[in-house]
Chains A and B, each alone.
Chain A
Amino acid sequence: MTAPAASTAPPPTAASGSFLSKLEIDARMLGMLAALAAIWIGFDLLSGGVFLTPRNLWNLSVQTASVAIMATGMVLVIVTRNIDLSVGAILGVVGMIIGVAQVQWLPAYLGLEHPLTAPLAVVLAMVIGGSIGLFQGWLIAYMSIPSFIVTLGGLLVWRGAAWWVTTGQTVAPMDTRFKAFGGGVEGALGATTTWVIAAVACGLIIIALGLSRRRRMRFGFPVRPGWADAVIAAVACGIVLAAATIANAYPLPAGTARRWAEANGLVWPEGGLFIPHGVALPVLIAILVGLVMTFIATRRRFGRYVFAIGGNPEAAELSGINTRWTLMKVFGLMGLLCGISACISTARLNAATNAAGTLDELYVIASAVIGGTSLAGGVGTIAGAMLGALVMQSLQSGMVLLGVDTPLQNIVVGAVLVLAVWVDSLYRRRIK
């Protein structure tokens, strides 16, 4: 593939050479996808074909959502050369508060199962999470306390606060509509919605590629060859459609399907009905969060400042960037995302427990780092971190499927984290 591509090398500014550089795809990202494929295929073989079933992949996607959402924020935190050790504890305290809000506070005014309960709980979660994040960000940016210390303190404080909300009692069950955020039957969007979302996504991918191409051509900049854009569009749409197909290949369990059919006035046939789950709401939220965060990180001034601060804090300051306010907003955003994740994990559990989110900070940081975020700052992508979260969750789910003991699971995940960072540092040294 390389030879013909090289012979048609257009202007000297375009990357001359390989197929991959023409596509302008990050080789690192490709490596991660390869690792993910290896993990999936490996587990599938070891588990006798159970791993790569629609059912397992669907569950995997739901399990990944919470950590993946927080990992997108952690990327920006780590890019600014900071760390947030408190995300699990923030998730815990927010989950506890919205649990109590749904079960005790809101019903007192609205009555049980009011349609506003779920939206109010989500808004409350985002406000509380965001406020906690902003407060910690203020301590870090304006009081100049190292983020490691502030968030280490935060880990203890917010975990303690989570206990304090109900003095340790678990709160359950959640509002029915709220439970949709956790996936499950309530949060499965169904086949039609899934196909519509997939079609819209494909359309947007093609439009975005076309617009970016036209814009570069108008300025006379070098563009990717047409076939490369076509390949990218085809691959991206292919992935979207494949994911939709898989989500729609996982039927509701017979009992649930029957209840659903009856509720929708359908006659329950003898052989049962194949009612697909479709994409799960938490997964859709995670994807939207990923898109919004990517937009913020790459297309907004705020994102540019975040990366500039990570690349050279002094230079950022000297160029007139309000680095403190930017930093405070980064932590505020992180807290807000913890709030969203708190909704998902509380809804999924259908209960608020004060242990929710325990150790999540480590999984979130590990996801970001496996996803190529450099702890030295300045480097990282949202998509990479989400993929990192998927890799971590795949390992864990796979081991659960194989019946590996929990201690051994932790040993493997820990070892993989170290291995991933080592391989990454080798790769970076080589391309330098």
Chain B
Amino acid sequence: MQTNGTTPLVEMRNISIAFGGIKAVDGVSVDLRPGEVVGLLGHNGAGKSTLIKILSGAYKPDAGEIYVNGEHADIATPRDAKRYGIETIYQTLALADNIDAAGNIFLGREVLTPYGTLDDATMEAETRKVMARLNPHFRRFKEPVKALSGGQRQSVAIARAIYFNARVLIMDEPTAALGPAETQQVADLVLQLKKEGIGIFLISHDIHDVFGLADRVSVMKNGKLVGSANVQDVTQDEVLGMIILGKCPPGATPGPGAS
């Protein structure tokens, strides 16, 4: 794997996990540096989301290690991951539909008053601030997120991920449910966060999406890493070949899954 001097923000080494005998992720290693966008590509069922759920603490790997800033990190729960500054925007958004935007953004990290009660006013005020940045037209602060449009729900999920000063952001199919204008908004946001030095794992099955935003791509097939490459060194067709055939082109570093 290429290195350019800086310590990786996150490094996942030889990660494996099996569900009922099927190896969903098998010996995969990926890394991410500050201000870098790494695209994780692969078919549905290639193991991208599973890999990323290990990083976000939703699953515990059977084997392999995770390093954050070069130090071994023990991530067993989503809370651990958040402590390391790893925030995730899940494909399903993972919002509690019956709760309003502020409740969702602060879910699990509520602001409390000195009396130990929920400080809804402060949480709403903070939500208004962060939403003003992400989605200035957002007005429905008091309604359960069930009542919001797809784009609005997406911005609530993004707000939750960036509000707590994330250093690593995982975006699982962030634009799958969005229209063209909203997709552009997400792209702008990715570039802005990148400038702030946040590392981003971008998971997608749409290579056009990824080529526009990512610095590097890692391709997975059947749970294994086919290879990783800088986007300048490979063509979209070559990456497509990696995704479909598992064939690693000369511009890429092959992984264990390359045929």
Contact = CB atoms under 8 A, between A and B. Distances in A.
Contacts of B107: 304, 308, 315-316, 319, 321
B56 interface: yes
B118 interface: yes
A307 B96 contact: yes
Given A13-B139, A304-B110, A311 B96 contact: yes
Contact of B94 (A215, A318, A379): A318
A310 B121 contact: no
Q: How large is the interface on B (under 10, 10 to 19, 20 to 34, 35 or more residues)?
A: 20 to 34
Main secondary structure of the interface of B (DSSP, over half): loop
Contacts of B236: none
B125 A219 contact: yes
A189 B99 CA distance: 40
A28 interface: no
A299 B121 CA distance: 12
Interface stretch (B13-21, B77-85, B180-188, B221-229): B77-85
Given A12-B139, A308-B107, A319 B98 contact: no
B103 interface: yes
Contacts of B1: none
Interface string A283-314: 00000000000010011110010011011101
B97 A312 contact: yes
B97 A318 contact: no
Contact of B108 (A13, A312, A320): A320
Nearest to B115: A299
A301 B139 CA distance: 25
A114 interface: no
A291 B128 CA distance: 30
Interface string A358-396: 000000000000000000001100000000000000000
B95 A215 contact: no
A317 B58 contact: yes
A378 B95 CA distance: 12
A218 B110 CA distance: 20
A321 B58 CA distance: 12
A320 B82 contact: yes
| The 7 residue pairs across chains A and B that have the minimum distance between CB atoms | A311-B96, A320-B79, A311-B98, A319-B108, A378-B98, A315-B94, A320-B108
Given A311-B97, A315-B92, A318-B58, 8 more contacts: A215-B121, A219-B124, A299-B118, A304-B110, A311-B96, A315-B93, A315-B95, A317-B78
